[in-house]
């Protein structure tokens, strides 16, 4: 009987959780949506490449959305059970609030495990994968930009045009990536180069000239070449590789050299501790949603979503305050990372005790 009840409560958690994850991921995706549309429409990148970018961004989205969806699911499920008096019947049958929370405990453990895996392995993998994907996109984008008879901008401040008329120079390039040093390059033949080892792509041109302006605007420079390679760095793309995070040992060593007064290093060390603290918060959120859902039993699904978001906002504000106290040397980084979790855990215990006595 109790196993059936556990499965019933667990099944109540699934729909609001999935809906919340989908809605939150869509909201977060809107930040990147314009970039993806630009890649698809104006840059000529294929739909499959854009979908690959989206999939590579998902781990970072899920690390943030899973804890929020967990508390929304918990609040919504127990709000519905309490509003329909099902919870009263369960309590009348001799089941305590802690016993009824066992499915939520299992559910929260699953969310904690998934969030932990994504934060420890998914996000670093995302950074490396996006770095490789950006190189492939830029190489493909250059190949598309070199279609005959069309103007294209493969990277900002560079226009590439390939002539479709016989007897004319084959390729024209306007390169204004360096402010005040614009130049026009024309050549008879070309080929696209790829240099993954140095995160570069380029165009190898044969028999051409480079037209540029000197610092004196009254002067003009022209240089002929038999062979010339135009390098394009991956850092100029929309999805440039992010800097690698220093290790905890390196941060501690840096802080010891500065007497633990380097605010930037303190902030980075706090972020390192948050790699475990934030997944742990997803576990606390799930349990907190049980008494909050019972108290706000008339909130319904939309109300549960709003209450859950408000709790997460309060958690975020508390994190910002702790970060401020860490950078101003009031709190050590580990305390600043874990203090919001401790306060929310204490709140969860108090609410469980009060609601359980009702």
pTM of the predicted model over 0.75 = no
**Over the stretch 252-302, which tens digit does the pLDDT of each residue have?**
888 888 888 888 889 889 988 988 898 999 999 999 999 998 887 655 555
Rounded CA-CA distance 192/237 in Å is 17
% of the chain exceeding 70 in pLDDT: 74
Residue, of 225 and 358, whose pLDDT is higher: 225
Rounded CA-CA distance 174/172 in Å is 7
Q: Which among 341, 345, 137 has a CA at the least distance from the CA of 238?
A: 137
Tokens, residue 324: 């401020």
**Over the stretch 293-336, which tens digit does the pLDDT of each residue have?**
888 765 555 566 788 888 989 999 999 999 999 999 899 999 99
Side-chain-facing half-sphere of 335: CA atoms under 13 Å: 8
Q: Grade residue 240 by pLDDT with cuts at 50, 70 and 90.
A: very low
DSSP codes, 129-173? HHHHHHHHHHHHHHHHHT-BT-EE-SSTTEEEEE--STTS-SEEE
Q: Which among 272, 237, 234, 281 has a CA at the least distance from the CA of 251?
A: 272
């Amino acid at each position: 009987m109790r196993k059936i009840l556990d499965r019933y409560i667990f099944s109540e958690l699934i729909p609001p959780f999935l809906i919340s994850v989908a809605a939150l991921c869509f909201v977060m995706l809107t930040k990147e949506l314009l970039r993806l549309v630009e890649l698809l429409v104006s840059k000529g990148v294929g739909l499959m490449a854009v979908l690959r970018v989206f999939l590579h961004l998902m781990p970072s989205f899920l690390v943030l959305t899973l804890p929020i969806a967990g508390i929304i699911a918990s609040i919504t499920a127990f709000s519905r059970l309490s509003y329909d008096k099902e919870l009263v019947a369960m309590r009348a049958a001799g089941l305590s609030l802690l016993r009824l929370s066992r499915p939520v405990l299992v559910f929260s453990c699953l969310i904690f495990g998934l969030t932990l895996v994504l934060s420890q392995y998914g996000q670093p993998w995302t950074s490396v994968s996006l770095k490789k994907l950006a190189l492939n996109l830029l190489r493909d984008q250059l190949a598309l930009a070199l279609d005959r008879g069309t103007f294209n901008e493969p990277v900002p401040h560079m226009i590439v045009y390939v002539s479709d008329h016989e007897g004319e120079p084959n390729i024209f390039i306007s390169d204004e990536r360096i402010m005040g040093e614009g130049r026009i390059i024309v050549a008879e033949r070309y080929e696209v180069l790829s240099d993954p080892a140095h995160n570069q792509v380029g165009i190898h041109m044969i028999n051409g000239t480079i037209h540029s302006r000197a610092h004196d605007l009254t002067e003009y420079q022209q240089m002929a070449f038999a062979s010339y390679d135009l390098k394009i760095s991956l850092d100029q793309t929309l999805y440039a590789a992010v800097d690698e995070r220093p290790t905890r040992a390196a941060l501690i060593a840096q802080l010891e050299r500065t007497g633990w007064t380097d605010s930037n290093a303190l902030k980075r060390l706090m972020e390192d501790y948050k790699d475990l603290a934030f997944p742990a918060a997803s576990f606390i959120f799930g349990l907190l949603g049980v008494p909050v859902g019972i108290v706000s039993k008339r909130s319904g699904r939309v109300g549960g979503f709003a209450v859950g978001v408000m709790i997460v906002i309060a958690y975020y504000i508390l994190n910002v305050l702790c970060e401020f106290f860490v950078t101003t040397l009031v709190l050590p980084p580990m305390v600043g990372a874990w203090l919001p979790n401790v306060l929310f855990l204490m709140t969860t215990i108090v609410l469980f005790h009060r609601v359980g006595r009702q």
